[in-house]
Amino acid sequence: MLAARRRSILKMIMGRRTIRLFREGEIPDDVLELIVEAGVRAPIYLQSYTVIQVRDRGKREELAKLCGVEAVEKAGAVLLVCSDLHRPKRLLDILGHPHILQVDKHPVEAIYSVFEAALMVENMILAAEALGLGSVILDCPLLEARRIAEMFNLPRGVTPLILLCIGERGEVPPLRPRLPLNMVFHRDEYVEPRDEELEGYLKTLEKHMESENYVRKYAGMDMRYTEYLKLKTELSEENKKISDSVAKFLKENLMKL
């Protein structure tokens, strides 16, 4: 019985796919609370994160435009997940000792806050999955950090990271490829992959994305996946501008490494 249950949890993890097309319909408050409660059961250090549910239709529309993603309007629930060094700072202030969050450079706490938020997000994704719901992470809040901070009244020290859209699945996509296990799981020391192995993976990825019609379906563009990847990561003036503005926001927002 126990073994069967363990197998079913593993099956759920192994079968999870990002869902980008949702059927309309809100997620009831008690279901969403259960998902967030599962999120906060993830391992913590200072619990340096905050989640804001975006219920306001106007804000949902604005976010959908900002992110260029329809799911933000359609999904049953939209959660803005932030790293939050503001609340831990207040907690430590109460203890009355000179503490690390009083200065504006604390690389360990800054990295841990993102790590904690990520663990929390994955727990919520799996909880949603267990409840028969699909989800997608959207990265636009970090890229538009200043605008989002204004929109949601975020105090200094709270950094918007991602939107997590959760809802009834409106598609059944295939499992997407991953790097071969030996490239990410090493024993006793780091093992450099050979160029041919990396090239082989890029080919596998290209072939899969082609079969899924991924770029056309989700980005509305007619190009190969590797071209799309290049576009997203190009050292272009526009991407440099985004990097600079995010770096400036982080620096001013207690996230200076």
Ligand X SMILES: Cc1cc2nc3c(=O)[nH]c(=O)nc-3n(C[C@H](O)[C@H](O)[C@H](O)COP(=O)(O)O)c2cc1C
Among 17, 169, 216, 256, binds ligand X (CB under 6 A): 17
Residue 136 near ligand X by CB under 6 A: yes
Please say whether the beta carbons of 27 and 169 come within 8 A: no
The CA distance from 143 to 130, in Å, is 30
Contacting ligand X within 158-217 (CB under 6 A): 176
Q: Which of 3, 28, 31 is nearest to 130 (CA)?
A: 31
Q: Which is nearer to ligand X, 105 or 178 (CB)?
A: 178
**Choices 16-24, 55-63, 101-109, 237-245; region in contact with ligand X by CB under 6 A:** 16-24
Residue 65 near ligand X by CB under 6 A: no
Other C-beta atoms lying within 10 Å of the C-beta of residue 52: 19
**Choices 3-11, 14-22, 25-33, 180-188; region in contact with ligand X by CB under 6 A:** 14-22
Q: How far is the CB of 216 from ligand X (least distance, A)?
A: 14
Q: Which of 159, 154, 142 is nearest to 66 (CA)?
A: 142
Q: How far is the CB of 119 from ligand X (least distance, A)?
A: 12
- For the CA atoms of the chain, what is the radius of gyration? 20
Please say whether the beta carbons of 136 and 18 come within 8 A: yes
Residue 146 near ligand X by CB under 6 A: no
Q: How far is the CB of 153 from ligand X (least distance, A)?
A: 23
Give the distance, in angstroms, between the CA of residue 225 and the centroid of all CA atoms in the same chain. 21
Residue 74 near ligand X by CB under 6 A: no
Residue 246 near ligand X by CB under 6 A: no
Q: Which is nearer to ligand X, 17 or 99 (CB)?
A: 17
**Choices 22-30, 136-144, 180-188, 234-242; region in contact with ligand X by CB under 6 A:** 136-144
φ, ψ for residue 233 (rounded to 5)?
Answer: -115, 5
Q: Which is nearer to ligand X, 133 or 136 (CB)?
A: 136
Residue 124 near ligand X by CB under 6 A: no
DSSP code of residue 100? G
Number of residues this chain uses to bind ligand X (CB under 6 A): 8
DSSP code of residue 101? G
The CA distance from 243 to 241, in Å, is 5
Please say whether the beta carbons of 231 and 222 come within 8 A: no
Residue 82 near ligand X by CB under 6 A: no
φ, ψ for residue 53 (rounded to 5)?
Answer: -75, 130
Closest residue to bound ligand X by CB = 18
Site residues for ligand X per CB under 6 A: 17-18, 20, 136-139, 176
